[in-house]
Amino acid sequence: MEEESQRTTTPLLPDNNHHRRWYHHLTDPLRLKTTLSSELSGSVGDLGTYIPIVLALTLVSHLDLSTTLIFTALYNISTGLLFSIPMPVQPMKSIASVALSDSLTLPQIATGGMCTAITLLFLGSTGLMSVLYRYIPLPVVRGVQLSQGLNFAFSAVKYIRYDQDFAANKSGGPRSWLGLDGLILAISCLCFLVLSTGSGELGSSTHPEETVSSSDRFRRRRLKLLSAIPAALIVFLVGLFLCFVRDPSIIKDLQFGPSKFHVLTITWDDWKTGFIKAAIPQIPLSILNSVIAVCKLSGDMFPDREASVAKVSVSVGIMNLVGCWFGAMPVCHGAGGLAGQYRFGARSGASVVFLGLGKLVLGLVFGNSFVRILGEFPIGILGVLLLFAGIELAMASRDMNTKEESFVMLVCAAVSMTGSSAALGFGCGIVLFLLLKLREMDCSKIMFWNSSLESTKDSLDI
């Protein structure tokens, strides 16, 4: 009987091991690298860019908010499981800017996103993106990151200081000091975030507890207690609560349930307009900031879990080729979003999974009526969240150790910001880098090569 039982149970072991491997493969990305409160706080770190763009596209271009929330929620959950880091899902900013300024239709926005996605999918699947990542000089990448980070910071200060009209894509008069969206509220949130999160580092001292004084021990305990506060999440929830205080009629206007999915009707003119006006300016930005810069930043923040450029590029391609057909907003993986989530405590894929679950609930429960809530969200609070994300991204450039590297980085950043084009700054940075290398090239080798060629030619003539 024992032999029969062994024969019947032994074949099941490989299947159990197989299921065990799959279980660990799915749960490892969700294993917390820090406290649960830090992961929850970090999950809302990129909403300073997400909410303004989504709100503007919903008001101006009639974006289906329910569809966008549901698809971006699925993207967040998928990327959290795939990358094991807080890989963000953010709007394609160049497409959004063109859509608002040129009044593009929803099919034209979708085709711009799909054309960009096809390009990135091709570059990622063929390995060309890996070649670009390997040979692009680090100072040029840092220049792109610095320009994007400072652009975020400048926009954040503008959100805090001035009233904003996202539908018209312009700033208004100076923001009042008092009120539920006043300067005092924004400054109070800013001070609370600085006091609770400090410079954004979660690491503790390497000295053992026995070697520190009682005052240092008290200080470490106080900092540990402050870092345990989900500061960004608290600030976001305060802003959400103030939406209903600012306009109580929101509750009456809420309609529960998601909107119905439908496939967009896209004409040839939509493809042509979307490619020329939306995709062409977006493709260089996506290659530089959404793939190369975000992978380099992931290596800086998570040296043992650096994201693969091929995987990130293919991920952006698949997301948009699926969601854009249904009218979802074109998205990418932005370095600014990763910096913002890291700044407020996100250290694993669990943070973006939490964010995805939150978006999924909002999209399924409130649907398109959630735009009424977002329309009353205090813009000053969004500016504060965006400010921290921009500064964190810009600080990635602090590893430039030589004057030559800093020179290339600063010129690249200056051109990118002045010309409002990351591609233009990138091109100038590459040319400058090559000129500096040409200046240092050993000319003796070239002269030796020329003399060898001349002697060979003379011997052949003889």
- Each residue of 285-317: pLDDT tens digit? 899 989 999 999 999 999 988 999 999 999 999
Q: How many degrees, rounded to 5, is the angle at CA 57 between CA 285 and CA 55?
A: 110
What is the reported pLDDT for 197? 87
- What are the tens digits of pLDDT across the range 153-176? 999 999 999 999 887 778 889 999
What mean pLDDT comes out for the span 142-158?
Answer: 92
- CA dihedral 346→197→303→116, nearest 10 degrees, is 50
Is the model more confident about 283 or about 31? 283
Q: Which two tokens stand for residue 178?
A: 């008092």
Given a cut of 90, whether residue 226 has pLDDT beyond it is no
C-beta of residue 328 within 8 angstroms of C-beta of residue 321: no
Task: Enumerate the β-bridge partners of residue 331.
Answer: 91
Averaged over 140-162, what is the pLDDT? Answer: 93
Average pLDDT over residues 196-202: 76
Question: In the prediction, which pLDDT does 421 show?
Answer: 76
How large a percentage of the chain has pLDDT more than 90? 60
- What letters, b where the CB count within 10 A reaches 16 and e where it falls short, cover 137-167? bebbbbbbbbbbbbbbbebbeebbebebebe
pLDDT confidence band for 205 (50 / 70 / 90):
very low
Q: What is the pLDDT of residues 336-381, one digit of tens each?
A: 999 999 999 899 999 999 999 999 999 999 988 888 898 899 999 9
Q: What is the pLDDT of residue 220?
A: 77
Confidence of residue 222 (pLDDT cuts 50, 70, 90): confident
Question: Using a CB cutoff of 8 Å and minimum separation of 24, what contacts does 417-421 make?
Answer: 417/147, 417/150, 417/151, 421/281, 421/284
Confidence of residue 145 (pLDDT cuts 50, 70, 90): very high
Among the ranges given (226-235, 261-270, 416-425), the one the predictor scored with the smallest mean pLDDT: 416-425
CA 167 → CA 37, 54, 269, distances in Å? Answer: 34, 11, 25
| Confidence band for 451, pLDDT divided at 50, 70 and 90 | low
DSSP 29: G
Contact 336, 147 (CB under 8 A): no
- Among residues 369, 112, 119, 378, the alpha carbon closest in space to that of 242 is found at 378
Whole-number pLDDT of residue 361: 94
pLDDT confidence bin for 279, thresholds 50/70/90: very high
Beta bridge partners of 165: 170
Query: Is 60 exceeded by the pLDDT of residue 209?
Result: no
Calculate mean pLDDT across residues 407-415: 94
Q: Residue 403 corresponds to which tokens in the numbers above?
A: 């004057």
Task: State pTM to two decimals.
Answer: 0.85
Q: What is the pLDDT of residue 237?
A: 94
Q: Tell me, rounded to whole angstroms, the distance of Cα 357 from its chain centroid.
A: 18
